[in-house]
Amino acid sequence: MKFPEDRNLPSALSPSISGALVTTRTPIRFTPRLPSTWPPVTRPADDAFIDTLERLFLEGMLAELNNVCADIFANNPSGLQGRGHVIAVAMMSMLEALSKFAFPTKPQHERIPEFVEKYFPPNFHPIRQQLSADYRNGLIHEWFMKTVAFLPGSEPIIIQANGAPVLGLLTFKAGLTESITNFLADLRTDPDRRAAAADRYHTLQSNALS
């Protein structure tokens, strides 16, 4: 899909790194993290819409996550130790956002487990409820996880004797990355899922500041 070129005049204003634009000028250049710059979605949504979503997910989410992780490993001998909590918060936010594109009409306690079961690798399916109730809710709402835990590397998923899961941050990152690939593939073949994603896209775009 071809996006319009940026025809704005030079400005002394710096663009925002996230969220709404900090400028009085309406942008023309497509920017994955700024819904006000997204192209309108056609109905029924076509393949060009999926191309746009692919840029939102890969450039607007995954690439930034990968960049931050790469910076951490390049500059911190301990890797994600002492850095991983903010990575975990970011990944839970990504999971929330992706699940809303997949199942926008369902409540959070239903859509995240369903997204995990449908798009994550099978080894994540047994912990799909905890990813919503304990990981996502704890990190996003309270900053703390009370009964579950992340480890700083690629440790496999372990279910402790009390039933609480523990897994490595990089293990979850790999599962999240695979879920994006699987979700995008599903969007190209499932018209109902595509229509749901288009509804979520339209809601974000309609509510964005321009």
Quick: pLDDT tens for 166-176: 999 999 999 99
d(CA 210, CA 199): 19
- Residue 108 binned pLDDT confidence (cut-offs 50, 70, 90): confident
pLDDT digits (tens, 9 = 90+) for 185-198: 999 999 999 999 99
Predicted pLDDT at 94: 98
Structural domain total, the chain = 1
5, part of any domain: no
For residue 205, give both structure tokens: 């775009």
Domain with 69, as residue range(s), is 46-200
Residue 26 in any domain: the answer is no
**Does a structural domain hold residue 107?**
yes
What are the CA-CA distances from residue 63 to residues 8, 46, 81 (Å)?
25, 24, 21
Residue 8 lies in a domain: no
Is the bond preceding 77 in cis, omega lying within 30 degrees of 0?
no
Token readout for 64 is 């930034």
Q: DSSP assignment, residue 60?
A: I
126 in any annotated domain: yes
